Structure 1
Amino acid sequence: MKKIFLIILAAGSSLGATAQIPQPDPDTTAKHFLIVASIGNLQEANAGRLAAQKAKRPDVKAFGQMMIKDHSDAEQKLMQLAKQQDIGLPSAATGGIVPDPALKNAGNNFDQLYVHAMVNGHRNTVETFENYAVNGKNPAVKAFAGQMLPTLKAHLEHIKAIDKQLNSK
């Protein structure tokens, strides 16, 4: 009887142990990372198009044009990588992304709103890419994240400098 009790106790405790095994963090999955990165690329490129059209300051216009080029190039690389890794991305992450309506309708405040959005957006993007470059599980996607980081960090520093100029006036 004592043996049966010990077996039941052991079985019960092993069931409890399996219930406590942590599940993979979805933020470190390759597919999740690529979805977030794709949406970010498309948002940056679309907002950049608005900046190229609507910005009053030449440095803000130039930054917008850089966003169009760099994030469109990054999106092409991302899509190639997703295809090579056989990672299907939902259409919601690869098309139909539109700029923030507040930015679209900003009027005279466009430069300030755009720069503020780019500072915040690039801070988040750099953090996301750094996280995957360090903690990611897929080696090819991890390499992509690491490869893109210098450009993203340069974008962040560039837009922070523009923001500083805007705020000093």
Structure 2
Amino acid sequence: MRKLFVFVLLAFGMVAEAQIPQPDPDTTAKHFLIVASIKNLQEVSSGQLAVQKAMNPDVKMFGQMMVKDHGDAEQKLLALAKSRGIALPAAATGGIKPDLMLAHAGAKFDQLYVHGMVSGHRNTVEIFENYATTGKDPAVKAFAQQMLPVLKHHLMEIQAIDQKLK
């Protein structure tokens, strides 16, 4: 009888625990916005460097496009995060500097910048495609979907520049 009583208590405890609503915060939206913000700031910072240091006019123009497009995207992202009540850490919203190797690349700047932009934009497109299809927050998902054509255009442009430089 005592074993039955303990069993009933344990079973009831499990049922009671299962009935308590568990919070389901969409941490993926915050994570996505943090990653996207860092990527935007990296693109702006590296783009500014490309405008200053690139020798190839196509690379310079691409750098200008990065500064403009990713600067605009960052403003939209910050407004979106604020509207969703998502606080982004300071590390994700400012003070991002370009890679030191890139900053001190000298004559190899164009080659290193283009290589970094190709791999970086492949990764960024993948991250945005993933959230655009599986994201939980509808407004953040719409942002990812809105940005995808721009990011894919960047990837296409930098791949074309990469082919010209080879």
- The TM-score with structure 1 as length reference comes to 0.86
Structure 1 distance, partners of 2:8, 2:55, is 76
Counterpart of 1:7? 8
Query: Bigger CA drift: 98-107 or 3-12?
Result: 3-12
Q: Does 1:131 align with 2:130?
A: yes
Q: Quote the offset at 1:4 in angstroms.
A: 3.9
Counterpart of 2:144? 145
User: Counterpart of 2:128 in 1: which secondary structure?
Assistant: helix
Residues 1:140 and 1:53: Cα distance change in structure 2 (over 3 Å): same
Q: Quote the offset at 1:72 in angstroms.
A: 0.2
Structure 2 distance, partners of 1:130, 1:159, is 19
Residues 1:25 and 1:157: Cα distance change in structure 2 (over 3 Å): farther
Q: What residue identity is the alignment partner of 1:7?
A: V
Counterpart of 1:33? 32
Q: What residue identity is the alignment partner of 1:140?
A: A
Q: Quote the offset at 1:86 in angstroms.
A: 1.0
Counterpart of 1:110? 109
Counterpart of 1:72? 71
Structure 1 distance, partners of 2:31, 2:7, is 44
User: Counterpart of 1:157 in 2: which secondary structure?
Assistant: helix
- Percent sequence identity over aligned pairs: 66
Structure 2 distance, partners of 1:140, 1:111, is 37
Number of equivalenced pairs: 160
Structure 2 distance, partners of 1:25, 1:164, is 44
Counterpart of 2:48? 49
Q: Quote the offset at 1:165 in angstroms.
A: 1.4
User: Counterpart of 2:95 in 1: which secondary structure?
Assistant: coil
Q: Which runs of 5 or more residues in structure 1 are unaligned?
A: 19-23
Q: Quote the offset at 1:156 in angstroms.
A: 0.4
User: Counterpart of 1:29 in 2: which secondary structure?
Assistant: helix
Q: Which runs of 5 or more residues in structure 2 are unaligned?
A: 19-23
User: What pairs with 1:153-168 in structure 2 (closer than 5 Å)?
Assistant: 153-167=152-166
Runs of 4+ in 1 over 2 A off after TM superposition: 1-12
Measured against aligned partners, the alpha-carbon deviations of 1:55-86 in whole angstroms (never above 9, x if no partner) come to: 01010000000000000000000011011111
Q: What residue identity is the alignment partner of 2:115?
A: H
Counterpart of 1:84? 83
Counterpart of 1:21? none
Structure 1 distance, partners of 2:25, 2:113, is 32
Structure 1 distance, partners of 2:81, 2:100, is 29
User: Counterpart of 2:136 in 1: which secondary structure?
Assistant: coil
